[in-house]
Amino acid sequence: MPMTISEKILAAHCGLKEVKPGELIEPNLDFVFSNDVTAPMSIRVFEEAGGKKVFDPERVALIPDHFVPNKDIQSAAQAKELREFARTHKLPHYFEVGRMGIEHVLLPEQGLVLPGDIVIGSDSHTCTYGALGAFATGVGSTDLGASLVTGTTWFRVPESLRFVYRGKLNPWVGGKDLILYTIGKIGVDGARYKAMEFCGPVIGNLPMSDRFTICNMAIEAGAKVGIIAPDDTTAVYVQKRARRPYTVYQSDLDAVYEAVFTWDISSLEPQVACPHSPANVRGVSELGGIVIDQVIIGSCTNGRIEDLRIAAKILSGRRIASGARCIIIPGSQEVYRQALAEGLLQIFIDAEAAVSTPTCGPCLGGHMGVLAAGERAVSTTNRNFVGRMGHVKSEVYLASPAVAAASAIAGRIIHPDEIL
């Protein structure tokens, strides 16, 4: 029976020759992780289940990244709980402040999630790792707590949707624009519990950073996973990082998909998701220069070194608009060090932007950039629901690092060409 890449990965981890959409399965897991917000509940589930040790310390990670450096006493207590659990169970992959990063930037960078893996994390943007050709998905804290004991979980095998992108990308158009365009077309529930498989010549020409961005936001269309079959670009990224063997899977040419979407994106301009939905997408030229108060460049969606290079190219020799503020957050300590070595941080500081240590911070309205009533932000993050970044009467516009940086200089939402 022909199968998609997602079906092949699931079948292999169940010791089966094949699986079909709709079947209930219990695969073995390659990697399990959690963060400072969701792990405390998972730890309680683990302990209430009588867990004495995790299924494999080498395949578990704890990453405090949401409310750190600790913003208050409660967040300090949550981080402490992770630290103590990691110490008790001798977990080698516990990443403390100063050595950590935003989990979905950090784990691929560290070579801990790999092609062909099944990965679960108690964070919805776990689907990011599909960019490596892994079946990666977010689960609840209860399910994750059980998986810490068993090293397994359960899934219903998802139907697959195929997204084919053809044409040539215009300047300043990248992965963020492609996924916003896609969500705008199919809606926030258009891929509910499906596997979104991204392919076509445009995807094949994208760097890994853009692929991570695309798969990261598959959840914003309701998907179970977003996935891109590994190729030479993937191999170059993985081979110098992998800490263990891995298996590459490809979809069969005659694999069955629930639906296939094919788009020529040759005329696509930078896209912006307007309040209050990732599906409320328009081209940047349609927005008429909406005045903004804040810009965020970073997050698990766009906090990689390639994203910071784009922002620096636009910000170089310029300053943030009077009355606006720009906060830049490298996705990991490694990204921070690289940005420092390349002189990017100097560019940001000279432009009068604030540069933070790695943290999720403002993405979820936690800290480091919470919005007041009536304020508007352009953000390279992934969600713009009511109250997502602060007050319920604030507004968030989702965009690429290029649009975000250009808007920070202008103090209004603009196309990068208006700056350069």
Same domain for 250 and 302? no
Same domain for 403 and 318? yes
Same domain for 254 and 282? no
pLDDT of 64 = 97
Bridge partners (DSSP) of residue 397 are: 378
Which residues are CB-contacts of 126 (< 8 A; sequence separation ≥ 6)?
104, 119, 120, 136, 137, 138, 139
* Residue where one domain finishes, among candidates 231, 262, 293: 262
Same domain for 176 and 277? no
pLDDT of 139 = 98
Q: DSSP 3-state assignment of 281?
A: strand
Same domain for 27 and 111? yes
Q: What is the pLDDT of residues 200-246, one digit of tens each?
A: 999 999 999 999 999 999 999 999 999 999 999 999 999 999 999 99
Q: From residue 13, give the alpha-carbon distance in Å to each of 140, 175, 283.
A: 21, 30, 42
- Domains of the chain: total: 2
Task: Give the whole-number percent of the chain exceeding pLDDT 70.
Answer: 100
Same domain for 250 and 276? no
User: Is the residue at 139 inside a domain?
Assistant: yes
Which residues are CB-contacts of 221 (< 8 A; sequence separation ≥ 6)?
182, 183, 186, 187, 188, 189, 190, 191, 192, 196, 279
Q: What is the pLDDT of residues 162-207, one digit of tens each?
A: 999 999 999 999 999 999 999 999 999 999 999 999 999 999 999 9
pLDDT of 3 = 98
0.95 exceeded by the pTM? yes
Tokens of 228: 């891109």
* Residue where one domain finishes, among candidates 240, 262, 284: 262
Task: Count how many Cα atoms sit within 13 Å of the Cα of residue 337 in the half-sphere of its side chain.
Answer: 7
360 alpha carbon, distance to own chain's centre? 11
Same domain for 365 and 242? no
Same domain for 306 and 177? no
Same domain for 92 and 180? yes
Same domain for 279 and 258? no
Residue range 330-346: mean pLDDT, rounded: 98
How would residue 24 be classed by pLDDT, with cut points 50, 70 and 90? very high
User: Is the residue at 307 inside a domain?
Assistant: yes
How would residue 289 be classed by pLDDT, with cut points 50, 70 and 90? confident
pLDDT of 420 = 87
* Residue where one domain finishes, among candidates 239, 262, 285: 262
The mean pLDDT of the chain is 97
CATH number of 146's domain: 3.30.499.10
Which residues are CB-contacts of 343 (< 8 A; sequence separation ≥ 6)?
none
User: Is the residue at 291 inside a domain?
Assistant: yes
Same domain for 295 and 359? yes
Q: Which residues span the domain enclosing 347?
A: 272-418
Same domain for 297 and 405? yes
User: Is the residue at 105 inside a domain?
Assistant: yes
**Which amino acid, 372?**
A
User: Is the residue at 267 inside a domain?
Assistant: no
